[in-house]
Amino acid sequence: MLELQINTTQNVNINFTAASVGERILAYGIDWIIKIAYIIVVYQLLFNLLDIPALISDMDQWSKMSIYIMCYLPVILYTLIFETLLDGQTPGKRILKIKVVKIDGYQASLADFLIRWFFRIVDLNMMSGVVALISIITSNKNQRLGDITAGTSVITLKNKINISHTILENLTDGYKPTYPNVIKLSDNDARIIKETFITAKKSSDYPTLIKLRKKIIEVVDIKEIKQKTDIEFIDVIMKDYNYYTQNM
């Protein structure tokens, strides 16, 4: 398995395992099975039940073509729609437990998914996917051309994870939060903060802890720090975030 090192905006490296070629091909195959099933259902509906050809027989060719394209548009936009709605996954990717992520540590955006989808014309539709296969095999981050252009990669989610690897925190009964403004953070912000915090604390990287504390103060808009050390402050921030998000 290829280890994929993602560098966050705090210059902290987070290691993920890149999805293998086999996993990506199998996910692609599952997605195509779903597409074919949709095409069969739509064909039966349009031609056998509704007799669309007879209904649109008086229309010009462009109008007929537009109707058929609209009916099969979900197949054309399948990957773009699902990766956008399912946070970087299609049904095939979800079954195989793989996911599209940005190589800078942030969640991929609609623009990134759009770029990946557009480059499928070259990656997967030309030479029956040979271009994509060669690109993934030769890339040091298992990226096809669409991934390279969008700055994304596909990782596996099958790693063993415990609470220390997530944004979750163990809160004691009766915990009282200190900073209500932590709700300004997103889950992705909290994940990056925790990854950075754990790595910096483990290696006694105090300059990074200072930068992290300053960034949190700026983003969360904290006027007064009530803890004596950066470690205590960041620890409280993570607990407060969990407290408010779990009770929203």
pLDDT of amino acid 163: 37
pLDDT of amino acid 160: 46
pTM of the model: 0.60
- Give, in degrees to the nearest 5, the angle at Cα 154 between 81 and 186: 70
DSSP state of 18: B
54 & 169 share domain: no
Cβ-contact 38, 82 below 8 angstroms: no
13 & 100 share domain: yes
DSSP state of 175: -
More confident position, 172 or 21: 21
User: Could you say which of 121, 156, 191 is where a domain stops?
Assistant: 156
Q: How many separate domains does the chain show?
A: 2
DSSP state of 239: H
More confident position, 236 or 55: 236
Domain ranges, residue 71: 3-156
Share of the chain above pLDDT 70, in %: 85
End-to-end CA distance of the chain: 39
Closest CA to 112 of 88, 137, 78: 88
12 & 122 share domain: yes
**What are 174-228's pLDDT values in tens digits?**
788 899 998 888 877 888 888 888 888 888 888 999 999 999 999 999 988 989 8
71 & 151 share domain: yes
* Band of pLDDT at residue 150, cut at 50, 70 and 90: very high
User: Could you say which of 156, 178, 203 is where a domain stops?
Assistant: 156
Average pLDDT across the chain, whole number: 83
User: Could you say which of 156, 190, 216 is where a domain stops?
Assistant: 156
**What are 123-142's pLDDT values in tens digits?**
876 666 788 888 888 888 88
